[in-house]
Chains A and B, each alone.
Chain A
Amino acid sequence: NAGVTQTPKFQVLKTGQSMTLQCAQDMNHNSMYWYRQDPGMGLRLIYYSASEGTTDKGEVPNGYNVSRLNKREFSLRLESAAPSQTSVYFCASSDSATYEQYFGPGTRLTVT
């Protein structure tokens, strides 16, 4: 039982490059989330997926796209990376009874 896994752990991109961050959970949760964490700002929701087949924008969706590939997997894509997207990205999934969230270990992304 691995919980929530994310790949890669670290990534350096040049401005304008694209990449996809992968996330998978094995807890049979319906809901999944992508957050970014910046110093002194807590976590900000980028996109979430309440259930398989649905996705919705969060607080800071600009510059990102998501795909809920199946119940287990939720990916985040940066089409044209910008230095402002340098951050730590966390994927999470949640229990639908109490909405407590289980987090992956994070992806540390630097855009130069």
Chain B
Amino acid sequence: GEDVEQSLFLSVREGDSSVINCTYTDSSSTYLYWYKQEPGAGLQLLTYIFSNMDMKQDQRLTVLLNKKDKHLSLRIADTQTGDSAIYFCAESIGGFKTIFGAGTRLFVKA
């Protein structure tokens, strides 16, 4: 069945780059997403990539997609304490169905 996997925790120092990784199983994904969840809040879309793209850059965020290995990554440059949150990888399959990973909790140490 469809599944999205990501590591549960990542700790970085302020100013360093963070790289959050994700693997997915369904090769028919159309869009892949990164969402951010801050404490006590809902998920907020950070960025998305269409499945025929390899890379997307948006200010401090870089998304890399390796379709052959079904691997998605999110790089946050110059990580700040305000980036501390849970980051969810998700894939859209056939439109309305979106599969979410369990989330990676990012800790940023000052």
Contact = CB atoms under 8 A, between A and B. Distances in A.
A94 B98 CA distance: 11
Interface size class of A (residues with CB under 8 A): 20 to 34
B107 interface: no
Interface residues on B, range: 20 to 34
B101 A50 contact: no
A53 interface: no
B1 to A, nearest CB: 10
Contact of A100 (B4, B45, B103): B45
Contacts of B96: 31, 33, 48, 50, 56, 94, 99
Contacts of B42: 4, 90, 92, 103-106
Interface in B85-110: 88, 92, 95-98, 100-103
Interface of A: 4, 31, 33, 40-43, 45, 48, 50, 56, 90, 92, 94, 96, 98-106
Given A40-B8, A98-B48, 17 more contacts: A4-B42, A42-B4, A42-B101, A43-B43, A45-B97, A48-B96, A50-B95, A50-B96, A90-B42, A100-B31, A100-B33, A100-B45, A101-B43, A101-B98, A102-B45, A103-B43, A104-B42
